[in-house]
Amino acid sequence: MNAIKLIVLVLITTLYACKNDKKEDIDSAKKQAKESDVIELEVPLEPKGNSNATGKITFIEDEGMVNMIVELSGLSQGQHAIYIHEKSNGEHLSSSNDLEGKWGAKEGYHIKNLKADAQGNAMLTFATNDWCMGCKDSKKDIIGKAIIVHQKVEDSSAQSNNVSDRISCAGIIQ
């Protein structure tokens, strides 16, 4: 009789354990599916001209928000403008043509100014839902665009072709 009770107990324990494994497998699959919706891209920045500015930018899109993490070294101390351009020598990416050169609006192209410390290092984080990665919306999609770091902060009254030297750049390519 004790043997039968033991067998039943082992059977129940085994079935219960298998049931939990399936639930854990489903939970794990859901988590992986959700994580697969996250797009992450690391872009190495290369020096341009006589500059020593190098670094990387990591773009992470998750649930409609694009996060950008900029890490640079080899800069001169002070502030530097960082932009997304349509292409390496093209106009700044703008969500609306009438916003070219304006500040404070949701222009989409001027990210923020980088501030390099005395050792020439700068870090910046930025997040926006005005961008996407691979969405095929030409006003929002940053894939295929260029990211440019300029020597100086741009003058908001300057014409778009009156910009400071480009010291580091990269293509945003998957």
CATH number of domain containing 114: 2.60.40.200
Give the pLDDT confidence score for residue 49 in this predicted structure: 87
Residues 29 and 46 in one domain: no
The β-bridge partners of 151 are: none
How many angstroms separate the CA atoms of 150 and 148, rounded? 6
Residues 111, 43 share a domain: yes
Query: Does residue 1 register a pLDDT over 90?
Result: no
Q: Does residue 28 or residue 41 have the better pLDDT?
A: 41
**Are 26 and 73 in a shared domain?**
no
Q: Say yes or no: 16 and 48 in one domain.
A: no
* Predicted local confidence at residue 98, as pLDDT: 40
Mean pLDDT over all residues of the chain?
75
Q: What pLDDT sits at residue 92?
A: 46
Question: Of the ranges 93-97, 102-106, 168-172, which one carries the lowest mean pLDDT score?
Answer: 102-106
**One domain for residues 22 and 57:** no
Cβ neighbour number for residue 91 with a 10 Å cutoff: 14
The answer on 101 and 43 residing in a single domain is: yes
Q: Considering only 76-80, 122-126, 142-146, 154-158, which range has the smallest mean pLDDT?
A: 154-158
Which residues span the domain enclosing 5?
A: 1-36
Which letter does DSSP use for residue 6 in this model?
Answer: H
pLDDT score recorded for residue 65: 94
Lookup: tokens for 159: 């014409």
Same domain (yes/no): 121, 164: yes
* pLDDT at 138 (0 to 100): 83
